[in-house]
Each structure stands twice: as structure tokens, then as C-alpha cells.
Homo-oligomer: A and B are copies of this chain.
Amino acid sequence: MTEKVNKETLVKGAFLEGDPRGGAFRFVVEPFTEDYTGRLAWHFLGNHLLRCASLHAGLRGFGYEDMQKAHHAWVLSRLSVQLEEMPRTGEEYVIETWVARIYRQFTDRHYAITGADGRVYGYAASTWALIDVDTRLPMDLDTLPDGGFTDAVIDREAPIPGFARIRLTPQATVAKRHDVVYTDLDINGHVNSIRYIEMMLDLFPADRFAATPVRRLDVAYNAESHFGDSLELITDTARDGREQVEIRKAGGGPVVKAAIGFAS
């Protein structure tokens, strides 16, 4: 017998109410994509958020391949995710994404993650820069020759607080060291953006994720890391209870900073 593995069907964007400037992509939580609590693993949610950014940008004419022709590349600068809950095995979810803002060297892309029945799993907001791949300098998005990019902006925001500042105290300590390995790398040859999130979650005991799942994540991407790099994971707990983590190259500057908000 022959079977389709993903039972994909077309859905209408729920949050955007079918606005053609946005994109809505349907997923099912497949077995073997969950964490040990039976909920979608961050690995998959995170990579699906990046994938939807790429799909939506490609459909609108400013995707990876379009940018490559102009020697430009999108670089993720910040990511905030706020969840009511993670979907469970077999549950369907729709990731809606749209360009919410363009300002000088940055653009904000927002997300809504909802269930088939209109249930809200959560929202996300991300900030991207467009760099010149030759000079590695960011482009001024306000003065770019416009190929429909500004037309894509939808004046709507994901209803979550803005990026939460991450400021480690001088008391922060090195909790772990990690030498970059083969499976950390993505097709760009650097450590995958979502892999850093996994490294940071892995600083905490597994049972904490069952008792108090992660509800909020703020990640700032400062620099790339590559095979051969030795990383230090430095942590402390903020006054408001959020766990702060900085990933630094040994003897070098910060690569990623994050704040993790476990349910209380």
C-alpha cells in the first residue's frame, strides 16, 4: 500500500483573514517530532518558523534566491516566541507570517501559530537585516530599489510584548562548554540558529520542561560560529525569574544572548 505521510490540505489564514500579503502554512505534529512530554519539539517549531519566513518571502519575490541574485542575504537578528502551549502529536497547526514593519536596516516579521479550530498556540516576532554578501554590511531597507517589499507590509502586530532585554549580571557563570560539531551546522556552514536554542534549553533539567514548560523565549543573534569554535554557555537568573544565557566564543565576543521564561 502507498500512503502520503503528511495529510496536507489547503487552509485559509485565520489570523490574517486571507490577506494575500501574508502567508499561511499548515503543519501536522508528526510522531518522532515531539519532545519527551509529547509536545512539538522546539527544534521543529523553530525551523518551521524559519522555513515559513523563507517560503513567504520567496512567494512575495524577496526570498533567498531573489536576494542572492542581488548579492544580498537575509540575516536573523532577533527572535521572540510566546506560547500558550505547544501542539501535541497529531494536532494540526497553521503558521501565519507577515512583514509587520520596515525601518532603516531592519524589518520585523511577525507570526501567529493557531490550531485548526482557531485555538491560539502562540505568536512570534522576528527582526531581520539584509546584508550585502560581499561587504557583509547591512543595507538600508528604506532606500533599496523596491521590488514589492514595502507593499508586503501589513499594519498588524503579533499581540505579545516586544523583545525582552537580556542583561547578564557580573555574577553569571560558565555553565557548560561546547565544541561545535558536525550536526550543529546547517547548509550555510554555520551553527543553525535554532540549534543555539536547543543548546540553551539543554542547560536545564528535563523534568522542568514537564512541570513548567517554556512560555517565552527571546533570542538575540550577534555573530556566527563555525566548526572548530569552542563555545561557552554563561547563565544567570534575572530578577523576574527568566533564565538568561549568553553563548560566547571562548576568548571572544558574544554569539547569541537569550532569555528563557519557564511557566511559573
Contact = CB atoms under 8 A, between A and B. Distances in A.
Interface of A: 1-13, 18, 20, 22-27, 30-36, 38, 41-43, 47, 50-52, 54-55, 59, 89, 181-183, 185-189, 192, 198, 201-202, 204-207, 209, 227
Contact of A227 (B31, B50, B206): B206
A187 B90 CA distance: 13
Q: Give the oligomeric copy count.
A: 2
- Chain B CB within 10 A, most for which of A31, A34, A51: A31
Nearest to A192: B32
Contacts of A183: 35, 41-43, 198, 201-202
Contacts of A2: 10-13, 18, 23-26
B5 A20 contact: no
Nearest to A46: B32
A8 B44 CA distance: 19
A197 to B, nearest CB: 9
A186 to B, nearest CB: 6
| Listed residue (A12, A24, A32, A47) with the most chain B CB atoms within 10 angstroms of its CB | A32
Contacts of A9: 4
A212 to B, nearest CB: 13
Contacts of A32: 47, 50-51, 54, 186, 192
Contacts of A205: 182, 227
Given A2-B24, A202-B182, A204-B182, A54 B35 contact: no
Given A182-B202, A187-B36, A202-B182, A22 B1 contact: yes
A66 to B, nearest CB: 15
Given A31-B54, A182-B205, 11 more contacts: A2-B12, A2-B23, A5-B8, A6-B8, A30-B51, A32-B47, A32-B192, A182-B201, A183-B198, A183-B202, A185-B206
Contacts of A34: 186-187
A63 to B, nearest CB: 10
Contacts of A4: 8-10, 25-26
A27 B55 contact: no
Contacts of A1: 20, 22-24, 59
A23 B8 contact: no
